Amino acid sequence: MSLKIIRGRSGSGKSTYILNDMPEDAPVIYIVPEQFSFTAEKMLINKFGMVGLGMPVVLSFMRLADTVFSTYGSPEFIADNASFEMLVSYCANSVKPEKFHLFEGLVKKSELAQTASNIITTFKRYRITPEKLTYAIERTNDEFLRKKLQDALVIYEAYTKEIAEAGIADQNDKLSVLADILSDDNCDFLTDKHIYIDQFSDFDPSEYECIKQMIKKAKSVTIALCTDGNLLFETVNRTYNRLCVIAKECNVKQLPAIELSDAMLSSSPML
């Protein structure tokens, strides 16, 4: 088990390095954002001649979740975004307007559902539970912020109660469920696999938790970050530092970072 981080500016050859580093006789998972999946698959075909059985697999975090769920099972999730929007709209509009401090105006303008949808998606992404929200409300001295959080909590609790009673899970919880499955001692999905993660500048908390399980269980994890250590890349540098902390917490060997400074010739548009 090991972690290796590749650092360099855009166009310095990080993706090319990853392709050349992939073993040809071991299982490989290449994780990229969904919008880069097609380009990544073309790169692998150019490199290996084909994709499929025995070849590196291109996945986004969400597609990785679906792959793991197909083997290890999962809760029933809300079918799609349209279903999510409808359920959020139902929950938001079921709250009596007088319970709101600041959102009452949104009810009159029929804008509450969209606001509620954005709020719930953000809370889920950053793993903020109703309990954590209540804790924040009790400790803030900002009256306006407290009222806004209280309105958000009313909607969030209504939504949480509704999906619990329906026995379904939120799509935004997929990666949290994935991390829980990967952390299980009986899950050997990551065993002997080489994980490569490319084209991300930062990760949300659920993605970090998945990466933590990869670092703990996979044969190796290699992550490419677009940075050279300068303040211009402050967000990515924070990502680098957090990954280093995770490796230390997992007591996993962190290999020296690969610093790419000179642009490498490549036909890849991802570099």
203-220 pLDDT, tens per residue?
Answer: 999 999 999 999 999 999
pLDDT at 265: 39
**Percent of the chain's residues with pLDDT above 90:** 59
Angle between helices 205-217 and 174-183 (to 10 degrees): 20
79: pLDDT strictly greater than 70: no
Token pair recorded at residue 54: 């025995």
CA dist 247 → 44, 82, 224 (Å): 28, 38, 15
pLDDT at 62: 94
pLDDT-derived band of residue 111, with 50, 70 and 90 as boundaries? confident
Amino acid (one-letter) located at 105 = G
142: pLDDT strictly greater than 70: yes
Averaged pLDDT of the chain: 88
Mean pLDDT of 104-129: 84
CA distance 80 to 23: 37
CA distance 29 to 199: 14
250: pLDDT strictly greater than 90: yes
pLDDT-derived band of residue 167, with 50, 70 and 90 as boundaries? confident
| Residues sharing a CB contact under 8 Å with residue 100, sequence separation 6 or more, in sequence order | 107, 151, 154
269: pLDDT strictly greater than 50: no
231: pLDDT strictly greater than 70: no
**How many C-beta atoms surround the C-beta of residue 148 within 10 A?**
17
pLDDT at 134: 96
Looking at residue 6, the DSSP 8-state letter turns out to be E
pLDDT-derived band of residue 268, with 50, 70 and 90 as boundaries? very low
